[in-house]
Chain A
Amino acid sequence: MGDHAERLLATLAQIRETDAQIQAWVSLDDEGAQRQARLVDERLTAGEELPLAGRLIGIKDIIDVGGLPTIAGFEPFRDRVASQDAPAVALLRRAGGIIVGKTVTTQFASSDPSKTKNPWNLECTPGGSSAGSAAAVAAHQVDVALGTQTGGSVLRPSAYCGIVGFKPSFDWTSTAGVLPFARTLDTVGIHARTVCGAAAVYDVLARPGLARAGSCEPLGPPRLAIWSDALAHASERMRAGVVDAVEALADEGALIQQTVAPISFDNLIALHTITSRAEAAAAHRELIFVHADDYAPKVRAMVETGLALPADAYVRAQQARDQVRRESLALWSAFDAIVLPTSESAAPDLSTTGNHALQAVATVLGLPSITVPIGFSSDYLPIGMQLIGVHRRADAHLLRVAHWVESRMPRLPRPPHGIQS
């Protein structure tokens, strides 16, 4: 048995043992993963170069993996088996990645809490909607995982679980085979324990023509702008944590200034609210009339309200988004990244997945965003700093800036729940 096949066998047993508490997985694909691991060993022996050789990968359960059901937390989809891999999954396999299974999502990647627990404290949410993907990476069950973000579903769970979460620019990779919720917002994202781990996956999945992060070499000290309007939307403790981290970065040579957005933070969130409801209604307009009682309460309310939303409000919101995108480019072009807290607080209890506002501002503008762990709250829960890239081609540049930041922040230990060695 080759190295990767051996490691996989041992890890699968550890996942089962630790997942009794964390509940990050919908299904584990033992047979398929073992087949892939043997194939990776054979390809390496044959001299192939595989950028993700043997990386263990979890896939959020709204993304198709051939032969496994895509349930999306929705009971009527329990037997909806995908006939083929989503293109993103196929690319991961081709690069030597081993798909371990499907990770838990909130229903339809929306905001009703899932069963997954936070590996740092089982009484706390891991966030949502990519709850299982973030928890599985934080618990060292897998090396990386794919998630998706329509509001804050990659960055918030990553911050709550103390890992790196990267949402590249809108449409950076194919969303074919990904269950849609809001067509101009849905973006595939990456959960990893380091920026370089996320960069390796980005380089495999990014569309041709987009710059690659390469070996993730950091740049010199970056020019960072604190978004003061956004800072005000975080708790006092979170603000203090981010300001302390920014001061530490300034001591290391980063140039720090303050900035605002072309419109207020609350108005940006209003554009996200209108867009997400209208587009969710379009995606669910048939399903909800057939299976209304199988919908979780929050997503049901969103879709029903979206169906009642005046069409002119949606069109006006899209025009406003276009204008704000143009104006923000002019306003922020002198900076390498915009800095804000990733979440308003550390992970709350299990009754909620947390507030999406601080992450949704990048999503509504289609800009890349990344969260990097910067330490702990007073309750020993991880907190993260968010960096937003200043234009839609800034993915690789943002990864390098984030790597510079990460290398100046304390490295978090393993969480108390999960694989320990």
Chain B
Amino acid sequence: MTTDREPDSVRWQLVLRTTLLFGEERSHANREEIESVSAAIERLERIKVEAFAALQPKARL
């Protein structure tokens, strides 16, 4: 599978994990599915949730 191979990209992490689990030949986690899930995770980062906000680092005075 060709994809964005930036080591910290969500896409690359999903490709790496599915390959580790199933092997490069055996993995059927196709590009469309990887794109869909990684886009969802990236969107999740932008959803403001109260439970997360309490854990954000405070700005230094």
Contact = CB atoms under 8 A, between A and B. Distances in A.
Bound together: yes
Given A263-B47, A319-B49, A323-B50, A304 B40 contact: no
Contact of B44 (A271, A302, A307): A271
B26 interface: yes
Interface stretch (A77-85, A153-161, A308-316): A308-316
A327 B33 CA distance: 30
B61 interface: no
Chain A contact-residue range equals 20 to 34
A267 B37 contact: no
A266 B30 CA distance: 21
Contacts of B32: 301
Contacts of B50: 323
Nearest to B16: A308
A304 B44 contact: no
B49 A274 contact: no
Nearest to B13: A310
A301 B13 CA distance: 16
Interface size bracket, B side: 20 to 34
B46 A267 contact: yes
Interface string B4-41: 00000000011001100110001111101110110111
A317 interface: yes
B51 interface: yes
Given A301-B33, A316-B52, A308 B17 contact: yes
Given A300-B28, A316-B49, A270 B43 contact: yes
A307 B52 CA distance: 24
Nearest to B42: A270
A292 interface: yes
Contacts of A274: 37, 40-41, 44
B28 A273 contact: no
17 contacts: A266-B43, A267-B47, A270-B39, A270-B44, A274-B40, A274-B44, A277-B37, A292-B26, A301-B29, A301-B30, A301-B32, A304-B27, A304-B28, A307-B21, A310-B41, A319-B49, A319-B52
